[in-house]
């Protein structure tokens, strides 16, 4: 099969579109013919080597955490997924991913893709929505009337987090710079241009901060939380317990995923009911994956960049 692999960690130039062995599904696994995948911040971090301390990767490695496609084969013991099923899931992360013509996934993680979406838009959902879902619904237990501050709210995780927060009846404050108009289209209650306004000067007493940026943004976020609030981040390292305690709040790194099939099935229903909508800003052929990584690392993209795989 054709795949994008890295043979060493580094910049986008280490991404190589080449021939690779087509995998065979083992017990409890399915082989998915990939029609669309994506590039997330996670993929850029993995490519650069930042995830190597957390995951025992073996090089060469295929990146790509999102997939929408059709089940090609099933392994031993798989009875609830069949060849020909149109599915989507989060793949890779711990092993070879979906920036390829075929990818393996655990059958228990695979869900029927949204009926109302094509593969391009379905692929835009899994990684970012599972991340936002776990942060807001499971770790923060966000409820009606609470306030959430979402940093990088126009990005992949951010734009789905905005919608999930709105569905819970929360007040949503989002930060962005070039993509303020997109935040307004999403209907945030307050959009802050971080390039001209220090968010900590205008935001206070929020229940939840979803930090998708890290570094200085995280440090400045402690003071805007109300006592007992929670800071959730996707960016390593693990937030400082001392800093959280000093501000009377909680903090957690989002480093796991909710039960994938259950959540993705519910998400697909919400999408088909018109409650959630993934935004795809750019579609590129798989061969142009380097461009996708460069765009993500510019930190000014909005929604998702999808890679189309043509068979």
Q: 56 Cβ partners below 8 Å, 6+ apart?
A: none
Among candidate residues 31, 29, 39, the one with its CA nearest the CA of residue 284: 39
**According to the model, what pLDDT value does residue 104 have?**
98
**According to the model, what pLDDT value does residue 17 have?**
98
Show the tokens assigned to 156.
Answer: 């992949």
Evaluate whether 292 touches 284 at the Cβ level (below 8 Å): yes
Q: 257 Cβ partners below 8 Å, 6+ apart?
A: 90, 130, 131, 134
For residues 129, 134, 138 and 139, what is the CA-based torsion angle, rounded to 10 degrees? -140
Domain spanning 128-253, CATH architecture: 3-Layer(aba) Sandwich (3.40)
- Dihedral angle sign, alpha carbons of residues 213, 217, 222, 225: negative
What residues in the chain have per-residue pLDDT under 70? Answer: none
Maximal CA-CA distance, the chain: 58
- Dihedral angle sign, alpha carbons of residues 73, 77, 82, 85: negative
- Dihedral angle sign, alpha carbons of residues 263, 266, 272, 273: negative
pLDDT tens digits, residue range 293-306?
999 999 888 999 99
**According to the model, what pLDDT value does residue 301 have?**
87
Q: Using CA atoms, how far apart are residues 140 and 219, in angstroms rounded to an integer?
A: 19
Listing DSSP states for 187-227 in one string gives: T-SEEEETTTS-HHHH---EEEEEESS-HHHHHHHGGGEEE
**According to the model, what pLDDT value does residue 151 have?**
98
**According to the model, what pLDDT value does residue 178 have?**
86
CATH class of 2-125+278-308: alpha beta
Show the tokens assigned to 206.
Answer: 């929020």
Q: How many CB atoms lie within 10 A of CB 31?
A: 21
Residue-range domain boundaries for the chain: 2-125+278-308, 128-253
**According to the model, what pLDDT value does residue 255 have?**
86
Name the one residue in this structure whose structure tokens are 């380097």: 290
**According to the model, what pLDDT value does residue 299 have?**
83
């Amino acid at each position: 099969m054709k795949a994008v692999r890295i043979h060493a960690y580094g910049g986008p130039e280490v991404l190589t579109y080449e021939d690779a062995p087509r995998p065979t599904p083992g017990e409890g696994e399915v082989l998915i013919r990939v029609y669309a995948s994506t590039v997330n911040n996670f993929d850029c971090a993995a490519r650069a080597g930042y995830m190597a301390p957390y995951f025992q990767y073996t090089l060469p490695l295929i990146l790509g955490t999102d997939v929408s496609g059709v089940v090609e084969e099933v392994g031993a013991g798989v009875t609830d997924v069949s060849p020909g099923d149109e599915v989507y899931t989060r793949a890779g992360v711990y092993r070879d991913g979906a920036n390829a013509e075929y990818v393996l996934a655990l059958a228990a993680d695979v869900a029927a893709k949204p009926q109302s979406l094509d593969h391009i838009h379905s692929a835009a959902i899994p990684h970012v929505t599972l991340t936002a879902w776990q942060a807001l619904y499971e770790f923060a237990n966000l409820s009606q009337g609470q306030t959430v501050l979402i940093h990088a709210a126009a990005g992949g995780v951010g734009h789905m987090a905005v919608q999930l927060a709105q569905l819970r009846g929360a007040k949503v404050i989002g930060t962005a710079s070039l993509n303020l108009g997109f935040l307004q289209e999403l209907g945030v209650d307050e959009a802050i241009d971080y390039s001209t306004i220090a968010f900590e000067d205008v935001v206070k007493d929020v229940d939840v901060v979803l930090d998708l940026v890290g570094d200085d943004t995280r440090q400045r976020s402690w003071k805007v939380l109300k006592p007992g609030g929670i800071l959730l981040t996707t960016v390593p390292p693990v937030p400082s317990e001392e800093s959280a305690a000093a501000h009377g709040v909680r903090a957690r790194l989002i480093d796991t995923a909710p039960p994938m099939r259950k959540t993705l099935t519910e998400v697909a229903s919400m999408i088909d009911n018109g409650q959630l909508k993934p935004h795809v800003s750019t579609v590129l052929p798989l061969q142009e994956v380097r461009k996708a990584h460069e765009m993500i690392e510019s930190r000014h993209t909005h929604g998702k960049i999808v890679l189309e795989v043509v068979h």
